[in-house]
Structure 1
Amino acid sequence: MEKFSVVIIGGGPAGLTCGITLASAEGKFDFVEGNEYLVIYDEYSDLDKALLNNVPAVQKGTKGKELLERIRKQAEEFPSLKLKKGKVVKAEGEKGSFWIKLEDGSEFTAEYLVIATGFHKFDIEGLDVQVVPHRKSPRQGKIMIKNENGKVREGLFVAGLVAGVPTMYACASGSGAEVACDILSEWAGKTVVVHDVPDSD
């Protein structure tokens, strides 16, 4: 059974951004050296049906499905970040010892768990979370997991639409980056963000 520092359930903008942000800290902070991260993504993301005309730095008219593929390829460039296609059916545990099971029987363990499964439904068994109506969805019947600034409890975080952010790409992606920084900050014992700067001329 493979063990990861963080397992992220959901491979849309929030989940992928969270994974990329965590993995991009390698080489910048000693406390992340040797850590490994896993993003588990299902067949479908809301981004698959999006047309992006109002996202900064993303060309107007970009199809969400194409952008999602580019983000996945970017994620694969980080040695410490793995992507796995599959459906999570059960997860349980607490900080330091989460256990995750997929429909195909694969099992993983993690020190931290991030849920980024969107706002349509939450059907993963085993986690003691409170599912409530989404607070910022323009459509009725959408859900979120009750949290405080992305944290459900120690070691368990939510990112993106399931965290209750507005249903836009930039909001979901930013939520994923924020959760990653919060986890890094816990490890560091102080506030941490991950920046790169160009080499000076």
Structure 2
Amino acid sequence: MDKYNVAVIGGGPAGLTTALTLASAKGKFDFVEGNRYIVIYEEYTDLNKALLNNVPGVKKGTLGKDLIKSIRDQINDYGNVDFLEDKVVKITGEKGDFRILTQTGKEIISEIIVIATGFHKFEIEGLEVETVPHKRSPRPNKIMIKHNDNVVLDGVYVAGLAAGEPTMFTSAAGSGAKVACDILSYWAGKTVVVHDVPDS
């Protein structure tokens, strides 16, 4: 059974940015050395059908599916994140020892869970989470997971549209970065962020 420090459920803007931020802490903090992360994602994400014209730093006219590939490649450069295309059906356990079961029967252990499954539905069994109407959705009948500053349960975070963010790439991605920094700060015992500076 594979074991990870953080399992990110969802491979859209929030999930990928969470993973990228965590991965990029490698080499900057002793407390993350040797850490492993996994992104478990389903084939479909709303970003697959997006045309991006207003994302800072992203060339106007970029297709969402191309940006997904680019971000995954960026994450892979760090060498500490695995990707699994599968559907999570059940999560049990507690902080430090969550057990994740996928539709294909894979079992994964993770210390921390990040839910970034979007605003369409939440069908993962085992977690005592509450869904409420999404407050910032331009479309009706969308959901978000009730949370307190992105914390759903001890060791379970929520990011992106599932956390109630607006349906904009930068909003969702920013939420993922925040959650990753919250996790890093928890491990550090103080507030930390991940910055890089050019070699002088």
Partner Cα distance (1:26, 1:62) in 2: 29
Q: Secondary structure at the match of 1:140?
A: coil
Tell me if 1:185 matches 2:185. Answer: yes
- Residue type of the alignment partner of 1:29: F
The structure 1 segments of at least 4 consecutive aligned residues displaced by more than 2 Å after TM superposition are none
Q: Secondary structure at the match of 2:39?
A: strand
Tell me if 1:41 matches 2:28. Answer: no
Q: Secondary structure at the match of 2:35?
A: coil
Report the alpha carbon displacement of residue 79 of structure 1 after superposing the two structures with TM: 1.2
Tell me which residue corresponds to 1:104.
Answer: 104
Count of aligned pairs? 200
Tell me if 1:175 matches 2:175. Answer: yes
**Which moved further from structure 2: 124-133 or 73-82?**
73-82
Tell me if 1:165 matches 2:165. Answer: yes
Tell me if 1:2 matches 2:8. Answer: no
Report the alpha carbon displacement of residue 135 of structure 1 after superposing the two structures with TM: 1.1
Partner Cα distance (1:74, 1:44) in 2: 20
Partner Cα distance (2:50, 2:198) in 1: 32
Q: Structure 1: state its 5+ residue gaps.
A: none
Contact 1:76 1:83 in 2 (8 A): no
TM-score, normalised with respect to structure 2:
0.98
- Residue type of the alignment partner of 1:9: I
Report the alpha carbon displacement of residue 98 of structure 1 after superposing the two structures with TM: 0.6
Report the alpha carbon displacement of residue 66 of structure 1 after superposing the two structures with TM: 1.0
Tell me which residue corresponds to 1:199.
Answer: 199
- Residue type of the alignment partner of 1:38: I
| Structure-to-structure mapping, 1:1-201, within 5 angstroms | 1-200=1-200
Partner Cα distance (1:126, 1:154) in 2: 14
Which digits, 9 at most, give the CA deviation of each residue in 1:66-93, with x for residues without a partner? 1111111111112111111111111122
Report the alpha carbon displacement of residue 148 of structure 1 after superposing the two structures with TM: 1.4
**Which moved further from structure 2: 178-187 or 67-76?**
67-76
TM-score, normalised with respect to structure 1:
0.98
Q: Secondary structure at the match of 1:125?
A: coil
Contact 1:160 1:176 in 2 (8 A): yes
Which digits, 9 at most, give the CA deviation of each residue in 1:86-105, with x for residues without a partner? 11111122111111011110
Partner Cα distance (2:45, 2:168) in 1: 13
Report the alpha carbon displacement of residue 126 of structure 1 after superposing the two structures with TM: 0.8
- Residue type of the alignment partner of 2:144: M
- Aligned residues with identical type, % of pairs: 63
Partner Cα distance (2:48, 2:165) in 1: 19
